[in-house]
């Protein structure tokens, strides 16, 4: 299995270089092949049931990291397919935009794939930092005033956040010096083995800094303010990767700190910290969803909402709740990417993101329109989609944990967000088609990517594969669910 990890490290990087130097007509299919290959490699790890390592242990995938690797690889494959239709083939700049776009997309995916593959806290921080640099350039790639401003805001906030995350990594290193010596590698297994002997106060500080630092990339309130602007101004394929993959990769980094903190000081402290950030994120997002006028900002605040749900679900700590959180990671990746793909089709068709200037979406887009409505229903946790199953598990876990009041708050806030999303979707999609708007898709390829996402959502909601269910159970155990 070590060869699979090495291949995952090589394939997207090779696609990056080739996309930059080759003609756009080569870069597009090459990106699709790289995405599909990465997904196939990630899926091949699913049936192993054991930890895979490579390069003398510097690359490592256990059950927890494989859940996030699958989410990123799926987003890479589906977004690459959507991007082929999204990026127009006949640019006036001789294809320079397409070269930069596909090279950036592949490099962004490479960095996000590396985050759950590396086995060291320091390398994990480096991988997340690389995602910041690359994604900021992609946010600004359209070179509009709004895009450049959003990219600068993103860089400033994310850099400050990752500065805190780096400090968290150094503090965690210091916490282990009394047990592991003054010079050791920050490998996850080594820290987990010695965590019982770490200084509790130092570990608490490291975890708090990690939640603030990586939480700025995850979109947790109050360090979320870059997210709506960046997701709104970025090209739609990049918005899908930001929401579906980057936020969850940052959550993965927090969970690695959670593992060590739980062993060092018990589960109560990290659970309480995540609960505070989760409630704040869910409450703000639920209220902001209802008053949005920008289609992509609407979906961005929906991402903040779902990150809040993940944090709250981890705070319940019951095995069924943690399993729901991990399933939510996968289902949210599929649902949010599909919704952004639909939004991209709407924006291409109507030439605007303003919700008040869009109507008759289903009439204008016979394939993308209905699928966008289904994606919104999926984000609202309606059956038979995967988010219904995952949020049902989280709610059940809250009740099992005797957190009845918090569970009621969770359900109430999710309901408010559902009403906001469904209202806006109905206004732009289920209204009469205005005069002068021609019926038809803007691309034959873009709806195919939406079909892939919806198929995954139905699979996760109706009957997840047995190997995937076993993986989620093992990953929940690695997080100490129920202990």
Question: What is the per-residue pLDDT across 408-422, written as a single tens digit (0 to 9) for each?
Answer: 999 999 999 999 999
Calpha distance 387→89 (Å, rounded)? 35
Q: What is the mean pLDDT of residues 440-444?
A: 88
Tens of pLDDT along 133-150?
999 999 999 888 999 999
How far is it, in rounded angstroms, from Cα 426 to Cα 360? 9
Structure-token pair, residue 218: 């995850």
**16 neighbors 103 (Cβ within 8 angstroms):** yes
Kindly tell me if the per-residue pLDDT of 483 is higher than 70.
no
**Spatial distance between the Cα atoms of 444 and 289, rounded to a whole number of angstroms:** 30
Please write the tens of the pLDDT for every residue from 197-239. Answer: 999 999 999 999 999 999 999 999 999 999 999 999 999 999 9
User: Residue 90: its pLDDT value, please?
Assistant: 41
β-pair partners for 294: 354
pLDDT score recorded for residue 94: 58
Distance separating alpha carbons of residues 430 and 415, to the nearest angstrom? 21
| Residue 482, pLDDT score | 59
Is the distance from CB of 265 to CB of 200 less than 8 angstroms? Answer: yes
Instruction: Express as a percent the part of the chain with pLDDT over 90.
Output: 85
CA 321 – CA 472 distance, rounded (Å): 11
Q: Say what the pLDDT of residue 437 is.
A: 82
The answer to whether residue 401 scores a pLDDT higher than 70 is: yes
pLDDT reported for residue 89: 45
pLDDT of residue 183: 77
pLDDT of residue 23: 77
| Average pLDDT of the residues in 188-201 | 93
Q: How confident is the model at residue 303 (pLDDT cuts 50, 70, 90)?
A: very high
Angle between helix axes 200-218 and 145-180 (nearest 10 degrees) is 160
* 70-92 per-position pLDDT tens digit: 999 999 999 999 999 998 744 54
The pLDDT of residue 182 is: 78
53: which residues sit within 8 A by CB, 6+ positions away?
1, 2, 5, 59, 60, 61, 119
pLDDT digits (tens, 9 = 90+) for 145-182: 999 999 999 999 999 999 999 999 999 999 988 888 87
> For residue 2, what pLDDT is reported?
83
Contact present, 127 and 48 (Cβ < 8 Å): no
pLDDT of residue 290: 84
Average pLDDT over every residue of 448-466: 96
Percent over 70 (pLDDT), the chain: 98
Residue of 142, 421, 456 whose CA lies nearest to 330: 456
Q: Give tens-digit pLDDT for 310-345.
A: 999 999 989 999 999 999 999 999 999 999 999 999
Q: If you average pLDDT over every residue of the chain, what do you get?
A: 93
pLDDT of residue 252: 98
pLDDT of residue 93: 61
**Span 471-480, mean pLDDT?**
94
Residues in Cβ contact with 276 at an 8 Å cutoff, skipping those fewer than 6 apart: none
**What are the distances in angstroms from CA 311 to CA 100, 118, 324?**
35, 23, 11
């Amino acid at each position: 299995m070590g060869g699979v990890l090495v291949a995952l490290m090589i394939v997207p990087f090779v696609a990056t270089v080739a996309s930059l130097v080759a003609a756009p007509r080569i870069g597009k299919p090459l990106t699709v092949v790289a995405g599909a290959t990465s997904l196939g490699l990630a899926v091949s790890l699913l049936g192993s049931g054991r930890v895979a390592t490579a390069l003398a242990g510097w690359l490592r995938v256990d059950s927890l990291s494989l859940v996030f690797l699958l989410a990123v690889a799926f987003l890479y494959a589906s977004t690459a397919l959507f991007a082929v239709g999204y990026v127009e083939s006949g640019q006036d700049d001789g294809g320079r935009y397409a070269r930069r776009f596909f090279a950036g997309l592949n490099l962004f995916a490479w960095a996000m794939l590396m985050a759950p593959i590396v086995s060291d806290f320091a390398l994990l921080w480096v991988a997340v930092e690389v995602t910041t640099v690359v994604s900021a350039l992609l946010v600004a790639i359209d070179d509009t005033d709004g895009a450049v401003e959003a990219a600068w805001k993103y860089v400033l906030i994310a850099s400050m956040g990752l500065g805190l995350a780096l400090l968290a990594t150094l503090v965690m290193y210091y916490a282990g010096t009394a047990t592991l010596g003054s010079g050791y590698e920050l490998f996850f297994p080594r820290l987990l083995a010695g965590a019982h002997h770490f200084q509790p106060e130092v570990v608490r500080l490291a975890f708090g800094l990690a939640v603030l630092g990586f939480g700025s990339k995850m979109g947790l309130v109050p360090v979320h303010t870059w997210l709506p602007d960046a997701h709104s101004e970025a090209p739609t394929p990049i918005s899908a990767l930001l929401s579906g993959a980057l936020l969850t990769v940052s959550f993965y980094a927090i969970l690695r700190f959670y593992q060590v903190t739980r062993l060092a000081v018990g589960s109560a402290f990290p659970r309480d910290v995540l609960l505070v950030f989760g409630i704040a994120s869910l409450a703000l997002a639920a209220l902001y969803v209802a008053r949005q006028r920008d289609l992509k900002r609407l979906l961005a605040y929906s991402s903040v909402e779902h990150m809040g749900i993940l944090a709250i679900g981890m705070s319940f700590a019951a095995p069924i709740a943690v399993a729901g959180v991990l399933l939510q990671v996968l289902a949210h990746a599929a649902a949010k990417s599909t919704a952004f793909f639909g939004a991209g089709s709407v924006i291409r068709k109507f030439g605007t993101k303003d919700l008040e200037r869009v109507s008759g979406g289903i009439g204008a887009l016979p394939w993308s329109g209905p699928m966008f409505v289904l994606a919104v229903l999926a984000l609202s946790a309606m059956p038979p989609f995967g988010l219904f199953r995952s949020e049902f598990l989280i709610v059940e876990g809250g009740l099992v944990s005797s957190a009845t009041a918090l569970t009621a708050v969770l359900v109430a806030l999710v309901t408010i967000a559902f009403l906001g999303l469904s209202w806006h979707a109905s206004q732009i999609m289920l209204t009469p088609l205005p005069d002068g708007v021609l019926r038809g898709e803007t691309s034959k390829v873009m709806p195919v990517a939406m079909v892939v996402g919806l198929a995954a959502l139905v699979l996760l909601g109706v009957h997840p594969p047995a190997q995937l269910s076993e993986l989620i159970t093992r990953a929940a155990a690695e997080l100490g669910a129920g202990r």
